[in-house]
Structure 1
Amino acid sequence: MIEVVAELSRGPVFLAGEALECVVTVTNPLPPTATSASSEALAWASAQIHCQFHASESRVALPPPDSSQPDVQPDSQTVFLPHRGERGQCILSTPPKILFCDLRLDPGESKSYSYSEVLPTEGPPSFRGQSVKYVYKLTIGCQRVNSPITLLRVPLRVLVLTGLQDVHFPQDEAVAPSSPFLEEDDSGKKDSWLAELAGERLMAATSCRSLHLYNISDGRGKVGTFGIFKSVYRLGEDVVGTLNLGEGTVACLQFSVSLQTEERVQPEYQRRRGTGVAPSVSHVTHARHQESCLHTTRTSFSLPIPLCSTPGFCTAIVSLKWRLHFEFVTSREPGLVLLPPLEQPEPATWTGPEQVPVDTFSWDLPIKVLPTSPTLVSYAAPGPSTSSITI
């Protein structure tokens, strides 16, 4: 029996273009007092990163797969296929790397191996939607002699920042000066430079503030004015807005605002409408604010963007966009007053009207959500960074 443990040193969240580092530890769990006949051996072990794509059959019409390439690896083969037995299609993979060959471990002995690979920048981000799913995994394959291959999968989350694909790593002289007494390899320099560049671009895109005002009206007049200071956000930020109802000519009884994502299948992959066909557009609400606002002059709201959500992106099959979805309930009666009179000659009992004729309407405001620091996401929304298997 051999125990294989894979641990991601920095957590399971990465930015496309960064280098993933994983330490693979192989241990013979038997006590050292066991006889030498209890030694265990592995023929080889390899590691590879791949992205698995799965689409809902009721929402997405994909071309038929190529049947000449089997998706499942027979146990008798010695070919390393990281996506063996998984649903969907493998749309992206890195070259496999061999960790070791002909490894023999005595009882209680343990050996560790380091795996490093740069995450491709041309792939989609990690996403689990209602129409499609993009799932990244680091798969480690191990095999004993004359035994089937055993796969150990470590889930990953990949964030994609548009624009980093065309950026080239500068030469050493262009990098900020470093201490000559500290050793730092090129991959470490590139990772720190890439993280710094991504942080600068995110800060430049999301730090600009300018008040944007929108007049909200229905068919009978003005309801109010909505104000927001920016339209580009990062994961983890709060969407803050103000609503001025004092200038409206139509009484607003209640309003709600929802932070939503819109997942839309591209037209060429949409299924034709019919029995059993799901809609090609789906919405998910991540945060919501509702308020009764009759006789309210000014109010505000704050909606947090979850760190576990996916920033907006677009592929050939699906697109994901963010928006603020407003719903207003207004009165049909002009000059509606639902307060008791201030001056009465005699004491009297006052009750509000039992029924008020109302109208409802909605409004959508698109916003843009970008990724944030992968380290921040790993700390704030931790996920499993260690996986193990026993062979």
Structure 2
Amino acid sequence: MIIVTARLPGRSVFLAGEHIECKVTFTNVIKHRRDGTPTKSKSYTLAWASAQIHCQCSVSESRVGLPKTRQLTSSEVSTSGNDTSFIPCKGEKGSTVLSTKPSILFCDLVLVPGESQTFTYQELIPGDAPPTFRGNAVKYSYKITVGTQKFNCPTKLLRVPFRVLVVPGLNDITVYGECDELKPNNPFKRTQQKESSVLEVALEVLQTITCRKAAHTYNITNARGKVAKFCLFKQAYKIGDDIVGTCDFTEATIPCVQFSATLQSEEIVTEECRKKSKDTPMIIPYSNHDEVCLHTCKSHISIPIPLTATPGFSTDLVSLRWYLHFEFVISKHCLEPLKQPESPSESATWQGPSYLDVETMVWDLPIKVYATNPMYATSVSLLKTEVTHAL
């Protein structure tokens, strides 16, 4: 019996534009009886093995209508009746939106009993690839598919899933190269030209974008007056970061009883692909922060962005945007101010009213969410980096 094992060494999350490596091992396993003695085994000859990357896109048929000029879906490919050719997307849901050229791992491989051989598959993930995304209307998923065929047998497929993150502006990494005139120069050291990898450049770009701190202050008001002043220290974040901001009620003219801040993403299907033009964007809530703030001068929020979330992106089919959704519960009438004790040694007791006439005020603040270091995202990934299949 032949056992095929495909393994992604190191991690299961990659950036678009990176090279991905997969180790594929073929083993002729010797079976043993219950008493431990080996059974009679034979040599096997494998005709060929190939590997290929493909991205599958599946959509909600009630919300999304794909254009007429598109590729065949995987279900249509499966009915073609060809069992010996290498069709990586065979049996998959949806349609293939991206696929690399198939790479041949070997031809005519003979494995004697107990023998094992390992082959390395390397491929470049296209820089214009869409990110891995599991939305309500659209889903993008990536797999490395390894196809193998024994003589006079149908082709067997083995798939290894992985996740793709996209950093905008990495199609040409040479624009991020540092000018030689600006580099520190040591006259006693021989200079060596070193090309930066896509991962190194991407991490530098993300660090530059998300570390720019510039406090943005927003006055939250309605027709009756001022509710609060909100301060956000930056507007660009990486997945895994914490969104920290402060709420100042010292200059408020409308009493705020409590407020909540929720991190939300908005999945927007392009107008050309909507089945119903009146369909509203789909909102996905994440972590939130609740605070009771009556008679409070200042408060703050701290909301984490999950590492499993998808950074903002846009394709010809769907786009994803991020924002903070605030809900302020405000009183319709002015409340008596809290009485302060005359001296610090004295204390005061305040009894809240049994009834408050309140209303809810909603406010949305757009933010930018970018990718992060793939190693961090791998630490919380549930994708298997090793898959085994028997021929």
Q: Which amino acid aligns with 1:270?
A: R
- Return the alpha-carbon distance in structure 2 between the equivalents of residues 170 and 297 of structure 1: 45
In the alignment, does 2:46 pair up with 1:42? yes
- Tell me how far 1:372 sits from its aligned partner: 1.1
The Cα offsets for residues 123-172 of structure 1, whole Å up to 9 and x where unpaired, read as: 1111010010011110001111111111100001011111111334999x
Residue from 193, 198, 202 that aligns with 2:202: 198
Aligned ranges 1:77-88 → 2 under 5 Å: 77-88=83-94
For the Cα contact (< 8 Å) 1:251–1:336, is it kept in 2?
no
In the alignment, does 2:245 pair up with 1:241? yes
Deviates more, 1:326-335 or 1:376-385: 376-385
For the Cα contact (< 8 Å) 1:75–1:149, is it kept in 2?
no
- Return the alpha-carbon distance in structure 2 between the equivalents of residues 352 and 97 of structure 1: 72
- Return the alpha-carbon distance in structure 2 between the equivalents of residues 341 and 170 of structure 1: 58
Q: Which amino acid aligns with 1:63?
A: P
Q: Which amino acid aligns with 1:297?
A: C
- Tell me how far 1:3 sits from its aligned partner: 0.7
For the Cα contact (< 8 Å) 1:231–1:367, is it kept in 2?
yes
Q: Which amino acid aligns with 2:99?
A: S
Aligned ranges 1:133-282 → 2 under 5 Å: 133-168=139-174, 193-272=197-276, 279-282=279-282
Deviates more, 1:53-62 or 1:75-84: 75-84
Calculate the aligned-residue CA RMSD, in Å.
Answer: 2.9
For residue 285 of structure 1, give the secondary structure of its aligned residue in structure 2: strand
Structure 1 partner of 2:323: 323
Q: Which amino acid aligns with 2:217?
A: L
Q: Percent identity?
A: 46
Mind listing any 5+ residue stretches in structure 1 that lack a counterpart?
178-185, 344-348
Structure 2 partner of 1:346: none
- Tell me how far 1:280 sits from its aligned partner: 3.9
- Return the alpha-carbon distance in structure 2 between the equivalents of residues 364 and 388 of structure 1: 47
Deviates more, 1:30-39 or 1:301-310: 30-39
The Cα offsets for residues 317-338 of structure 1, whole Å up to 9 and x where unpaired, read as: 111011000000000111345x
- Tell me how far 1:244 sits from its aligned partner: 0.4
Question: Compared with structure 1, are the counterparts of its residues 151 and 210 closer, same or farther at alpha carbon in structure 2 (3 Å cutoff)?
Answer: same
Aligned ranges 1:22-37 → 2 under 5 Å: 22-30=22-30, 34=38
- Return the alpha-carbon distance in structure 1 between the equivalents of residues 17 and 71 of structure 2: 33
Q: Which amino acid aligns with 1:109?
A: E
Structure 2 partner of 1:353: 353
In the alignment, does 2:115 pair up with 1:109? yes
Name the count of aligned residue pairs: 369
Structure 1 partner of 2:334: 334
Deviates more, 1:300-309 or 1:25-34: 25-34
Structure 1 partner of 2:189: none
- Return the alpha-carbon distance in structure 1 between the equivalents of residues 21 and 277 of structure 2: 46
Deviates more, 1:101-110 or 1:117-126: 101-110
- Tell me how far 1:246 sits from its aligned partner: 1.6
Question: Compared with structure 1, are the counterparts of its residues 221 and 350 closer, same or farther at alpha carbon in structure 2 (3 Å cutoff)?
Answer: closer
- Return the alpha-carbon distance in structure 2 between the equivalents of residues 67 and 7 of structure 1: 29
- Tell me how far 1:198 sits from its aligned partner: 1.0
Question: Compared with structure 1, are the counterparts of its residues 245 and 68 closer, same or farther at alpha carbon in structure 2 (3 Å cutoff)?
Answer: closer
For the Cα contact (< 8 Å) 1:73–1:85, is it kept in 2?
no
Q: Which amino acid aligns with 2:103?
A: K
The Cα offsets for residues 199-232 of structure 1, whole Å up to 9 and x where unpaired, read as: 1111111111111100011221101100011000
- Return the alpha-carbon distance in structure 2 between the equivalents of residues 78 and 254 of structure 1: 65
For the Cα contact (< 8 Å) 1:73–1:84, is it kept in 2?
no
The Cα offsets for residues 32-60 of structure 1, whole Å up to 9 and x where unpaired, read as: 97577522222111000001011111111
Structure 2 partner of 1:302: 302
Structure 1 partner of 2:314: 314
In the alignment, does 2:391 pair up with 1:385? no
Question: Compared with structure 1, are the counterparts of its residues 97 and 364 closer, same or farther at alpha carbon in structure 2 (3 Å cutoff)?
Answer: same
For the Cα contact (< 8 Å) 1:126–1:135, is it kept in 2?
yes
- Return the alpha-carbon distance in structure 1 between the equivalents of residues 309 and 71 of structure 2: 35
The Cα offsets for residues 243-289 of structure 1, whole Å up to 9 and x where unpaired, read as: 00121010000100011111011112112268xxxx44111112100
